[in-house]
Amino acid sequence: MNRIFSGMQPTRQLHLGNYLGALRNWVSLQDQFESIFCIVDLHALTLPQDPAVLLGNTREVTAAYIAAGIDPERCIIFNQAAVAAHSELSWILSCHTPMGWLNRMTQFKEKAGKHRENAALGLYAYPVLMAADILVYKATHVPVGEDQKQHLELARDIAGAFNRHYDKDFFPLPEPQILGEATRVMSLRDGTKKMSKSDESDYSRINLTDDADTIALKVRKAKTDPDPLPESVEDLEKRAEADNLVTIYSALAGTSRQDTLDRFAGQQFSGFKGALVDLAVDKLAPISTEMNRLMADVGEIDRILRRGADKANAIASANLADIKDIIGLLRP
């Protein structure tokens, strides 16, 4: 069976965009692939973190994985820092990664901005650690969002360079999986910006921890325009906020945007938002309830993470041993 690897950072709360763009797809993929899902806490260190908050967020993301439907009995769920092979392989791969490749990474340029000289090395080298995350398990497929697609392409380049350098067909070239219509869920306050955990306004997103009343309030307050819903997707795409809400509805309902427009075309947003509230509460409130139940027993969450780390470490350590033999590092 092919193997998938993916993960999320434990920074702030997970939201609707994380669910529709990734988590929901992971749930379906666990039936098709050997699945490894990581809480990438080492990646979170590229920005300053409060230790207590980071620890709590790691457990909360784990709870979100399980509440969304990822089965820890069938999948490996663990936090990245618990498996040392990630960091060790990252160093090895960094020695096979030209600076020119990293200089092309647009996300570093965006996050570092005008203060590039003061940016931490970890932010610059982040894509190499991401490559190590994937390659240490010899993952064949990686479900990613559009914003991480360039990093996955780099992982493929690094894997190919390693294979050619040592004349070994060792690493598979992982294939991206960008699934579903709602791969980019936008802010409820600004349809031109991606829904983000870092947005100052909590009304810009629906958090997975939001209860039914909060979900309903945020949907009703979501920015729209005064015109009724159009009949075609072509017209919809000219209206960012309208497109975003229709996209969210379609993703939650499992239909296309055109199917949604066929049902609601010509209606005002007041009526459409009512239908969206009912659907969002039906789909998301059970996740919030289950997350709260899981977070009431952090000991069980920690046990799940330890068990997952043991399984992950068994795979990663064996592959890392082979890598060391290939490159000529003496092992005990």
Catalytic residues: 111, 194, 197
Cα–Cα distance for residue pair 71/30, rounded to 1 Å? 8
Cα–Cα distance for residue pair 65/69, rounded to 1 Å? 7
Radius of gyration of the chain (CA): 21
Helix 149-165 / helix 121-135 crossing angle, nearest 10 deg: 70
- 3-class secondary structure, 176: strand
Q: Classify each residue of 213-248 as buried b or exposed e, where b means 16 or more C-beta atoms within 10 Å of its C-beta.
A: ebbbebbeebbbeeeebbeeeeebeebbbbbbbbbb
Helical segments of the chain, H only: 16-18, 24-29, 41-44, 51-68, 85-94, 99-103, 106-112, 121-135, 149-165, 212-221, 233-236, 240-253, 257-264, 269-295, 298-327
Nearest to 7 by CA among 131, 123, 92: 131
Query: Running DSSP on this structure, what letter comes out for residue 44?
Result: H
| DSSP state letters, 71-99 | -TTTSEEEEGGG-THHHHHHHHHHTTS-H
Q: Which two tokens stand for residue 295?
A: 């977070």
Cα–Cα distance for residue pair 200/227, rounded to 1 Å? 28
Residue 172 and residue 159 in contact, taking contact as beta carbons nearer than 8 Å: yes
Nearest to 64 by CA among 18, 122, 6, 114: 18
